[in-house]
Structures are given as C-alpha cells and as structure tokens.
Amino acid sequence: MFEWFERGSYLGIVLFLTLTGIGLPVPEEVPIVAAGVASRAGGLHWYYALPACLIGALLGDSLMYSIGYFFGAKVLKEHPWWSGFLTAEREKTIEDLIHKHGIKAFFVARFLVGLRSPFYLTAGILRVKYRWFLFADFICASIVISGFFGLSYAFGDRIEALIGHAETGLTLAVVAATVMAVAAFFLFRKRRMRLLDQDPESLFENRELIFGPAADRIADAVAFGEGHSADTPPAPGDKQHK
C-alpha cells in the first residue's frame, strides 16, 4: 500500500477510502496513515494527499447515507448482508442516539470502527437533510483525518526506517499487518454491536473511544489495583492516622 501511494496515486487514495466507507473490512485509518507516510517520504504532496483522504472519506459516508435515503428501511429486510449488522432494533437505537446527541453522534461514530457505516446508513433512513449531514460529517472528518494524517506525516521518517530495516521480510510484514487490521476491524465491530444492544450510551465514553476492546480490561485492572491497595495492610513502619 505504501509503494502504491508513493507512486502518486491520489485517485487510489480516494477509491480506497470510499470502499472502506461502504463496507470494505479495513479500518479507515490504514490508508490515511499510509498516505501520510508516503507524503513524508516525498512520494506524494501532502496538500493533495490530505484533501484526497478527506474526499474519499466523505464519498464513502455519502454513499452509505444515499443507500439509506433512497432505499430506506427495506434495505435491511431484503438484503441479509445489511441486516447482518444493522437489525431493525439497532437501527432504532442509533436513531435515538442521533436524536439525542446530534452532531456529537457523527463525531463519535468516526472513532467507532465497525459502527460508522450503520450510523450513516441510519442518517439516510431518517432522511436527515443532506446538507446538514455533509456539514456535520465534514467537520468531524476534517478533525479526525487531519489528526491521523498529521501524526503519520510527523513520524513518517521513523516508520520508513522501520520498513527499510525489514526489507527481507517486508512482504510478510505487510500481509501480517493487513490480516491484523482486518481481524481488529471485526473484533471492534463485534464488541461495539454488543454495546449498541446492551448499553449504547457507553459508546460515548472516552475509554471506549480511545482503547476500544481493551477498555474493559484496563478498567478492571485499575479497579483491581485500587481495591488491592485498599485491602493491603500498612507496612510495619507506616503510621496510622486517626
């Protein structure tokens, strides 16, 4: 992917991100990071690559919105592929979240790998005004994509160096990274679908947005540490305060 982007394929960036927006099981951040690294290496101009990332993301989101807008809820009934991850009950839950949180729901959805498409599909089903949807999506996408692109551009030299040191096993490393990214996509989606069914408001918590599937384990570890400290008797030299 890095070599593909380094050949100056801005159209490839747009196409790849559009496909991730309509269901390609690869995290959106993967092509964004690749574009940032390629720009740092000089294979792309960042002032073209960054807009290409944004355009591709908006196109993918708009396509999902259009499917919901023009085909409505019947797309969930007539096409098992869609209903496999967006049941009528989940669609209603997402509808309630959009009504309650407004633009915040779309901002959060950009961090929720596996739930972006259902959110945008539901926005179309609800027939949210497209200009409002596009405005909200543009603001959210600009913040998130600029952040990932900027970080990958800033640390692009180090990433390139790591790739250079792995010349002999580069193909294997790329294949392994791709497999891991796809596995992470399905892991995140499975967890977040479960949260959507059981506790949708928890999707808006910072720990879920940042740590994803590791959030519960981290929270349990912190709770265990606090409880363990409280149960541990004071050391012989410690003074008791009354």
- The pLDDT tens digits of the residues spanning 16-66 come to 899 988 878 777 888 898 888 888 888 888 999 999 999 999 999 999 999
User: Which of 58-72, 110-124, 220-234 tops mean pLDDT?
Assistant: 58-72
pLDDT band, residue 160 (cuts 50/70/90): low
d(CA 213, CA 184): 9
d(CA 64, CA 130): 12
Q: How many CB atoms lie within 10 A of CB 49?
A: 24
* Coil, strand or helix at 7: coil
C-beta of residue 193 within 8 angstroms of C-beta of residue 114: yes
Copy the structure tokens of residue 79. Answer: 């096409």
How far lies 144's CA from each of 32, 67, 106, 147, 207, in Å?
10, 24, 11, 5, 17
- pTM beyond 0.85: the answer is no
pLDDT band, residue 241 (cuts 50/70/90): very low
Copy the structure tokens of residue 57. Answer: 């993301």
Copy the structure tokens of residue 214. Answer: 């590791």
Domain residue extents for the chain = 2-231
Region 115-120: what's the mean pLDDT?
82
**What is the tally of helices (H) and strands (E) in the chain?**
14, 0
Output the pLDDT for position 242: 44
pLDDT band, residue 76 (cuts 50/70/90): low
Alpha-carbon dihedral angle through residues 183, 223, 202, 115, given to the nearest 10 degrees:
-10
Q: Which amino acid is located at 156 in the chain? A: G
- Residues of 110-135 as b/e, b for ≥16 C-beta within 10 angstroms? bbbbbbbbbbbbbbbbbebeeeebbe
